[in-house]
A and B are shown apart, each in its own frame.
Chain A
Amino acid sequence: MGGGAAYENDLNFKATELRLGLPGTGCTNEEQAVSGAKNNKRPLLETREERGSKGKSDPQHDDQETDPAPKARIVGWPPIRSYRKNSLQPKKAEAEAAAGMYVKVSMDGAPYLRKIDLKVYKGYPELLKALENMFKLTIGEYSEREGYKGSEYAPTYEDKEGDWMLVGDVPWDMFLTSCKKLRIMKGSEARGLGCGV
């Protein structure tokens, strides 16, 4: 599903640069000479929530050595409604999906969530190992009949229909396309999933 603007790579810094100045120059003095007008522009503002709302903050473009002009994005620019900006984001999400598949991971009792890239793992064993490392716990052995026995934790995920499923029941590829977020259940809630199924 393509769109108007092509994506060569996600973080095309040069192209996203917004600066005060004539095209091809980085120097405001030149601009003044050409336009014959005094330029009293204020320095650009740093962005704030605008970036945060996209859920992924873009790094500052400090590593460009050639250009002295400020490269911060301008708050509230271009002037289109957030609602509209958000509706265009699916294209960005597509690009992100191609690059990696980040899902949130919550664990009962933990104060904050984590995020992992599912694409990095080749199958369930690797994923479970990573989860065990991340949260410093043991998840136990998977069995179709009893779920995860040998531990008080059970890894679950929310699928596209909003239902909470036990990790491991469906083929790995199907899991990748349907998993929206992960939750490591603990205690009695976890045991409920494995019993008598």
Chain B
Amino acid sequence: MNYFPDEVLEHIFDFVTSQRDRNSVSQVCKPWYKIESSSRPKVFVGNCYAISPQRVIERFPGLKSITLKGKPHFADFNLVPHDWGGFVYPWIEAFARKSVGLEELKLKRMIISDECLELISRSFPNFKSLVLVSCDGFTTDGLAAIASNCRFLRELDLQENDVEDHRGHWLSCFPDTCTSLVSLNFACLKGEVNLAALERLIARSPNLRSLRLNHAVPLDVLQSILIRAPHLVDLGVGSYVNDPDSETYNKLVMAIRNCMSVKSLSGFLEVAPPCLSAFHLICPNLTSLNLSYAPGIHGTELIKLIRHCRKLQRLWILDCIGDGGLEVVASTCKDLQEIRVFPSDPYIGNAAVTEAGLVALSSGCPKLHSILYFCQQMTNAALITVAKNCPNFTRFRLCILDPTKPDAETNQPFDEGFGAIVHSCKGLRRLSMAGLLTDQVFLYIGMHAKQLEMLSIAFAGNTDKGMQYLLNGCKKLRKLEIRDCPFGNAALLMDVGKYETMRSLWMSSCEVTLEACKSLAKKMPRLNVEIINENDQMDVSADDRQKVEKMFLYRTLAGRRKDAPEFVWTL
């Protein structure tokens, strides 16, 4: 390979796009490492504390696009204090200082301030794409800065963020010269938006293909937007309440008739179900449908809609669709690959779906490989059937609303059911389990789940053996998160080297003591072992034998982080 000039190698590497493949390429030899590193445009950092921004810039001077993830996954469920960390400012500040030609920024579970957004908007002249997922710390003022200053902005995608809304002026901040928008998603904004500015923006964005509106955009504005943007591929409807007989509704039907390129539909944040029939026209083209934020739609209306969606590949829905509705999905959507069924009322616990719906999906949809299913009850028999019907699962997440409920028919734990899943689905990469579970299920997982990368466990297992089976058997495990399980020090310390092969481990409400955590931290200098102690002040002289409430450990080349708040103790 020394015969090829660098430029040729670089050109060849351009065709290698996945981060994993590029990592492999860079490990072949020193020259390849140099060339690959200097030319890599897209960098993915799964844990923002695993490496310092300076090191990333040094290694990848040509970086144009970066994805950063911050808080641990369990932060989604309020298990991590809000200001634990995940601040993006140091990264942006470093990029700005070193004049990195940043064009794309994607953040997940991070804290980003208005100052940071403003810094981004002023420091990177070619900035094109901002994607924020489950982030917080900013207001619509920060969005105004992005709108005003990023002259070539193509994508502004806000997914499920907690944004402080200072009312809708930010939309008016897009200058008249801004015509480059391809994707705009502000569905998560809680406040009003300037509707006239929105319409004008859309009218001057001929490349707009993806638009997701928030609840403040009513039906009549939707109709006029659709007229101006007939080439939309992805539409998120805002507020959809109107009398089906009105003139506006009829105009909407005409407008929808024009939008036959729409393949992905979501939103319906407020909805009068009789109006849904307007969308039956584009349903036959849909490959993706997300109605999981539309709590007002009855099962019968959902079913009517679904019957038209023969090409659906991805469906996110609420459990009010019922087992019967899932049977309709199974018989209609033969191309279905991913489904998520969310609880419409998490507290009452009257999930309308059971094992019957799951089995129906598994028998009707041969291409199904990714599922998230919240249900009231489950049986081992059903899981075994599902495993037989669908050996191609890559992601399998089941949640029974009562966390330690056993098999509804036999009262047995779900060891055999999940055992069947991991045995049959040899490509399983992500698993999340539910219900009553003993150490046995972990034995099965350790034995069979050879491709497993991420595992979430709650209220499961009996002894340390459970966790030991996992750590021993799952060679590709990267993220392990455990809550309320009786795993303790013996399991934690069994194979300390293992944690350097993983991104992170979360353990809360388990049997691990401070002493074991300290011992682990001492043995493994390249791990940060954090104890999160919200309620008490950090008691350095605390009894080592006390149990640790929350521990989060992760491998890192950056050492102990300097921005940890008082209640986080890095051992």
Binding site for B on A (CB under 8 A): 1-6, 12, 15-16, 18-23, 34-35, 37-42, 45, 49-50, 73-85, 87-88, 90-91, 162
Contact = CB atoms under 8 A, between A and B. Distances in A.
A22 B299 CA distance: 30
A86 B445 CA distance: 34
Given A15-B348, A35-B438, A40-B486, A76 B79 contact: yes
A20 B404 contact: yes
B169 interface: no
Contact of A78 (B188, B293, B346, B408): B346
Contact of A3 (B161, B345, B399, B463): B345
B257 interface: no
Classify the interface of chain A: helix, strand, loop or mixed: loop
A39 B462 contact: yes
B349 A40 contact: no
Contacts of A73: 347
Nearest to B488: A40
Contact of B406 (A35, A79, A81): A35
A80 B340 CA distance: 12
B412 A80 contact: no
Nearest to B508: A76
A16 B350 CA distance: 9
Contacts of B459: 20, 41
Interface in B395-428: 399, 401-406, 408, 411-413
> Chain B at the A interface: mostly helix, strand, loop or mixed?
loop
B295 A90 contact: yes
Given A18-B349, A18-B403, A37-B438, A4 B320 contact: yes
B509 interface: yes
Of the candidates B188, B318, B374, B406, the one having the most CB atoms from chain A within 10 angstroms of its own CB is B406
B74 A5 contact: no
Nearest to A40: B486
Contacts of A21: 404
CB-based closest 6 A-B pairs: A4-B320, A76-B77, A40-B486, A5-B345, A4-B344, A83-B160
| Size class of the B contact interface (CB-based, 8 Å) | 35 or more
A87 B411 contact: no
Given A18-B402, A38-B463, A74-B403, 8 more contacts: A1-B272, A4-B345, A18-B349, A34-B406, A39-B462, A80-B343, A81-B134, A84-B292
Nearest to B410: A34
A173 B241 CA distance: 22
B484 A42 contact: yes
Contact of A85 (B346, B458, B462): B346
Contacts of B299: 4
A139 B436 CA distance: 62
Contacts of B335: none
Interface of B: 74, 76-79, 134, 160-162, 167, 188, 192, 269-270, 272, 292-293, 295-296, 298-299, 318-320, 322, 342-350, 352, 374, 399, 401-406, 408, 411-413, 432, 436, 438-439, 456, 458-459, 462-463, 483-484, 486, 509, 511
Given A4-B319, A5-B320, A35-B411, A80 B78 contact: no
Contacts of A82: 76-78, 162
Contact of B346 (A12, A38, A40, A80): A80
A85 B162 CA distance: 13
8 contacts: A3-B320, A4-B318, A35-B406, A35-B438, A38-B462, A50-B78, A76-B79, A88-B345
Contacts of A84: 160, 292-293, 342
A15 B406 contact: no
A3 B432 CA distance: 28
A77 B77 contact: yes
Given A41-B486, A81-B160, A23 B405 contact: yes
B293 to A, nearest CB: 5
Q: Which of A6, A50, A87 has the most CB of B within 10 A?
A: A87
A75 B404 CA distance: 15
A57 B454 CA distance: 35
A12 B296 contact: no
